[in-house]
Structure 1
Amino acid sequence: MKRILKSAAWEKWPLDIVAIAFFISISSYILSTTFNWGSWGIIIGAAGSASCGFSWLLARALFKPDFPKDAWPIYVVALLVTTGVLIDAFATKRAETGILFTGIRMAASLHTLLSSAVLLLAPLEAWSNYSKDFPLSEKRFRLVYSSIYGGLMAISVIWLSGVSDNSWADRSSDTIKLLCAGIVILLNVWGWRYRKKHLHPKAKRKQRVLTDVTEDEQVLSQRILEQLNTQKLFLKHDLKLSGFANALGESDHNVRNCITGLLGFRNFNHMINHYRIEVAKSMLNSEASKDISILVIAFDCGFSSIGPFNRAFKEETGENPTSYRNKRLQDKN
C-alpha cells in the first residue's frame, strides 16, 4: 500500500485514479442489479458492492488537500471489496449452520456496517476542512454537493428502509436506487470537473501560540527564510526536502516541523511553490518579460514542467498565468 501511495501516478493524478475507480464500481453496481451475468456476476457484483466506499473515497479526494497521504480509507474500501467477494461467492450456499455460514454472515454484517458508515461520511467530507475564507464558488460547490448527496442518501437508504411491504415504494425500490445511483454519477462527474478547474483553496492554518515557539525554532525559521530570500534555493528544479535540510545542516524532521509550524505552510512543496510563484508574478507583471513564454518563465522559476506550474499558480492566485499576465499588462497600458 505504501508503494502505491508513493507511486508517480498516485502523486500526480490521485483524483483521476479515484474517480475512474468510482465510475467503474458504480457502473458494476448498476450492471449487476440490472442483468444476470452468470459466473461473471461474482466479479461484477463485488466491484459494485464497494461503490459506496469508492464514492466516499472520491469525496475525500474532492475536498481534502492532503488526500493522497491517507492510507486508511483505502484499507476500508479494500475491506468492502473483500467482504463483497465473499458474500457473492457463497450467495448460493444453502447451509444455515457451520463455520462457513457463520463467517459469511459476519462478512455480510461487516459489509453492511461499513457501507452505511461511508455513505454517511461522504456528504460530510465537504465540511471537514471548511473555512469561511474560502471563495464563494467553493462554498457553493460544497453546499450543493453535500445537499444533493445527503438527499440521495436519505431517499435510497433511510426512506426506502422504512416503507411498508408491498407498497409502491417497496416494489420500485430497485428502480429508485438505480435512479439515485445515476444521479450520484452525474454529481461526481460535475464535482470531478469542478475540482480539475479549481484547485483546493488554501485553508488557513491555526497559528501556534508564540509562547510554544522555542528559540531553536526561531533560529531555524530565520535560516530557512535566508536560504529562500538570499540564496534563492527554491529555483533549483530538483529540490527536495532532504536536499534543503542538508543545505541547512538539519534533519528533515526539524525542517518539516518548522515549515508546517512556525512558518505556517501546509508542507515543503507548498512553501517552495509559494516563493517560485512570487518570482513568476514579478516576471509576468514586467513589461520587459512580456515576450518571454509562460513555459520559459516556469523553468526560470524552478518548475520542471508547465503542468505543475499552472496548478501551483492558480492555487496561489486564483488565475492561470496567461490571464494574470494579460490583466496586469492591460492595466499598465
Structure 2
Amino acid sequence: MALSALSVPDALPLLNAVLRGGAAALLVLASAVFLRAPSSLPSRFGAALALCGILAALAGLPSIAILDPFDPLVALCSAACVPLFWLFTRAWFDDDFRPTWIDAAVGGSYPVLGLIISLQHEAPIAPLGLLDLLSSVGGAAFAVHALWLAWRSRNTDLVEPRRHARIGFIAIVSAIILILTGSEVAGRITGAIETSTLTGAIVLFAGALGLLIILVGLRHPDMFPAPAEAQANAPQPIAEPLDAGLEYTLDRLMTEERLYRDPDLTIGMIAARAGTAEYRVRRLINTGLGHRNVNAYLNGFRLREVSAALADRAQAEVPITTIALDAGFGSLSVFNRSFKAQFGETPSLYRKRVAAGGPSD
C-alpha cells in the first residue's frame, strides 16, 4: 500500500509506532549520557529511569504474541518510571539526599500497583476502576511532590548548569506525566483508546527529545557529583582567582556576626549583607570555595560551632538539640546526617568520647 493511499485510521497506528520508536531511540541516548556520567546516586537513578522509559515507550505498540510472556515485566518497568523520576529529581537537586526505607517502600508500592492493574485488565479496553484512579492520583502526586522539591531548592543550588536546567526539566517532565495520566484516563472513560495512545506517543517523543537536549546541551563536570576517589584522581582544573575582598567580607559575616545561625538564610540575604550581586556570591562559594550548594557552605560553620559546644565541659548539660538549633540547623535530621558525615559518629557519641578525653578533631 502506498503511503499516499493510507487512510487516517491506517496512518494513526503507523504514526504511533514511529513516534514511540523515536522516543525509545532518544531514551537510549539519554541512558548512555547517564551511564557515562560519574557514578553517583542521580546518575544511577537517571539511567534506570531512561531504561524503564524505553519499555514504557514500546509498551504502546501493537502486541506481538511471542513477547506476551514479558508483558508483566513491561508493565512493572513502565510503572516504575514514576517513582524513579521522583527519586532521580530528589537525588539530582539535593546532593545530601539518601533514600530511606520509607522512600523504598513508597516508591516500590507504585510499580506493584501498576503490575496488579495490568494483570487484571484482560479486555482491550478495560473499564476504569478504583485501582486505576488510585494509580493516576498517586502518579500525579509523585510528580507534583518531586517538582515542588526541585523548585523549592532552586535558590540554594550553586552549580550553574544544573540550576539553569531546572525550569526546562520541571516543565518537560511535569507535562509528560500529567498529560499521559490525563489522556489515559480520558481514553478509558470515552473509549477513544487510539487517540489516547497517539497522544501518549507524541508526548513521549517530544518529552524525550527535550530531556536529551537538556542533558547533552548542559553537560558539565559538576552536573553530577563524582565519587571522592574519582575526584582525588582527576586532574585538578585551574582555579579561578578568588575575590579576596568578597571572601574576607563573607568570612567576617560568618565568623564574627555568625550570619549562619539564621536557619532561613538565603544566598540573596548573604549578598545583600555583603553589599554585592548575588551571582558573585554564588561564584565565590561554588568555584572559589568548592561547595555545590549554599547549605553545604553554611553547615560547615554550623558544624564547627556545634562540635566546639559539644567539646565544651561548661555546656555538658545543654541538650544537643538546643545546640544544633542555636547553630542554625532548621532540621534535626539534616543536622544528624551532616554531623555523622563530617565526624563519622553521632553527636551523642562524639560528646561522650571527647568528655572521656578523646580528641575533638
Coarse TM-score class (shorter-chain normalised): 0.5 to 0.7
Residue 238 of structure 2: aligned partner? 209
- 1:294 and 1:49 map into 2 onto residues whose CA distance is 39
Give the one of 87, 90, 103 matched to 2:187.
Answer: 90
Residue 133 of structure 2: aligned partner? 43
Matched to 1:280, the amino acid is: V
- CA deviation after TM superposition for structure 1 residue 131, in Å: 1.0
- CA deviation after TM superposition for structure 1 residue 231, in Å: 3.0
User: Are the equivalent residues in 1 in contact too, given 2:172–2:207 (CA < 8 A)?
Assistant: no
SS of residue paired to 1:288: helix
Give the one of 192, 195, 198 matched to 1:106.
Answer: 198
2:126 is the counterpart of 1:34: no
Residue 173 of structure 2: aligned partner? 76
- 2:284 and 2:108 map into 1 onto residues whose CA distance is 40
**Paired residues, number:** 234
Distance 1:247 1:207, change over 3 A: farther
2:342 is the counterpart of 1:313: no
Residue 250 of structure 1: aligned partner? 276
- CA deviation after TM superposition for structure 1 residue 32, in Å: 0.6
- CA deviation after TM superposition for structure 1 residue 324, in Å: 1.8
Distance 1:320 1:114, change over 3 A: farther
Distance 1:35 1:232, change over 3 A: same
**Residues 212-240 of structure 1 deviation map (CA, whole Å, 9 limit, x = unaligned):** 326xx222112211222233322344433
* TM-score for the superposition, normalised by structure 2: 0.49
**Structure 2 residues not aligned, in runs of 5+:** 1-92, 151-155, 212-222
Higher relative contact order (CA 8 A, sep 6+): 2
Residue 296 of structure 1: aligned partner? 322
Residue 46 of structure 2: aligned partner? none
2:82 is the counterpart of 1:22: no
User: Are the equivalent residues in 2 in contact too, given 1:234–1:275 (CA < 8 A)?
Assistant: yes
Distance 1:220 1:113, change over 3 A: same
**Structure 1 residues not aligned, in runs of 5+:** 1-9, 119-126, 135-201
Q: CA RMSD in A?
A: 5.0
Map residues 1-333 of structure 1 onto 2, 5 A cutoff. 22-23=107-108, 25-36=110-121, 38-40=127-129, 42-43=132-133, 46=136, 70=166, 72=169, 75-76=172-173, 78-87=175-184, 89-90=186-187, 101=194, 103-110=195-202, 128-133=224-229, 209-210=238-239, 212-213=240-241, 217-304=243-330, 306-332=332-358
Matched to 1:330, the amino acid is: A
SS of residue paired to 1:90: helix
* TM-score for the superposition, normalised by structure 1: 0.52
- CA deviation after TM superposition for structure 1 residue 250, in Å: 1.3
Identical pairs, percent: 20
- CA deviation after TM superposition for structure 1 residue 280, in Å: 1.0
- 2:177 and 2:262 map into 1 onto residues whose CA distance is 44
